[in-house]
Amino acid sequence: MDSFEAGHEAYFTTCEDLVRRLKKAIAEHRFQTGLRFFAQPRLLVIDGFGYRKLDEDGRSLLFEVINAHYLKGSIITTGHVGINGWAERLGDPMLAAALIDRLLHRGIIVGVDGPSYRMRSHQARADALRKAAGTPTASRAAGS
């Protein structure tokens, strides 16, 4: 957090949005500008990594961004697929190895395993509604 308080720039995007923006930049003949946009921030967060399979162009564009950024700043990727599943999700084992190589060159893996915040929030709201209606909550109905 000290980095952000010092005024360093961070950018959050989804993997799909990153690819979509770069494909649009290519169509508008401004790929280098689009690439610089994603390579510039001190921290780049790519959410939904591996959520959907990317086509060949999308995989290539993702590699271009990570390759352009990894020595200049920090990259955080989030997703439900661990790095052992990247080759299959990306559809290209060589590209997956190259991405992992760059991300781990100066990085670490932080695995997070547990319930989804969205589902936990949903469950809390549902339990509150059931309690207000006088019906058993999911946790009481399950016997806990």
Q: Domains of the chain by range and CATH? A: 2-113 (3.40.50.300), 114-144 (no CATH)
Q: In the chain, what percentage of residues exceed pLDDT 70? A: 87
Mean of pLDDT over the chain: 85
What is the phi/psi pair of residue 47, to 5°?
Answer: -95, 155
pLDDT at position 68, please?
A: 96
Name the 3-class secondary structure at 49: coil
pLDDT at position 84, please?
A: 87
Residue 73 DSSP class: S
pLDDT at position 3, please?
A: 59
Max mean pLDDT range (3-7, 47-51, 121-125): 47-51
Compute the average pLDDT of residues 52-81. Answer: 92
Considering the entire predicted model, what is its pTM? 0.75
C-alpha span between 48 and 129 (Å, rounded): 31
Residue 81 DSSP class: S
The pLDDT of residue 119 is above 80: no
